[in-house]
Amino acid sequence: MKNHVLSAYVRHQAGLVRRVEAEYCPRFDLNLTMSELDSKRILDVAPSARVREAPNAVDLETFPLPDPESERSNSVTFVGPTYLFANGDAVEHLLSDIWPRVRRLNPDATLTLIGRNAPGEQGSFAAVPGVEPLGRVEDVRPHLGTTGCSVIPIRVGGGTRIKILESWALGRAVVTTTLGCEGLDVTDGVNALVRDDPKQFAAAVAGVLDDADLRGRLGREGRATVEAKYSWTQVGASVRQRYSDLIESRAAS
């Protein structure tokens, strides 16, 4: 059932944020956003603002490609603390609407949930067949880096998802919703599978688990995307250039 009070509250807060953006963004010499979509949203409310992109990025030295022999081909992984509403909603949607369908298609499939949970949640998650909630882990790489499929069934919220960038950096196949990959350079069928219907999402996950060639291709394309656009080296150089341009323009004026 839709929570009308929560919806009204969120709309009210969004309106406040838009008013703040409209007033203050034009006052700054430079506004940095995470994506072109975020830039467009600022310019919609503050057309005179100077906006440039500085996307989230991954340190590829910290996230090297894992040993291919370590892959758990029937493993699915979701990363994100469920105390954040978008992640909590995604896990609820995953367990109720998607995971049972995946298990019917692949009874050997397992789901690992990584991220801090509210008290009592882990017990309810663990009661679902094939699900292992790990809670908060010190290092996500040993778990995410060996999974057969990284899933991002996000339905609410905004911004770019670092969990996709980390999955790509580790060469993992990604299945996501349209909102889950918002603002990132995703091409459906190339570096990720994008499905919004839960039945289609489940079929995509099962298809990835069953097809080693598909997993490998999605993982390679994802890694290539990070190397080209979302590495610390690439993004850092771009941001430094933005700052240099800004300093030079201020000095000239």
- pLDDT tens across 202-243, in order? 999 999 999 999 999 999 999 999 999 999 999 999 999 999
Q: What is the mean pLDDT of residues 126-149?
A: 96
pLDDT confidence tier of residue 250, bands split at 50, 70 and 90: confident
| pTM (two decimals) | 0.90
What are the residue ranges spanned by the domains of the chain?
1-54, 68-226
Strand, coil or helix: what is 127?
A: coil
d(CA 93, CA 155): 9
- Tens-digit pLDDT profile for residues 78-128: 999 999 999 999 999 999 999 999 999 999 999 999 999 888 899 999 999
* CATH classification number, 68-226, choose in 3.90.1150.10, 3.50.50.60, 3.30.460.80, 3.40.50.2000: 3.40.50.2000
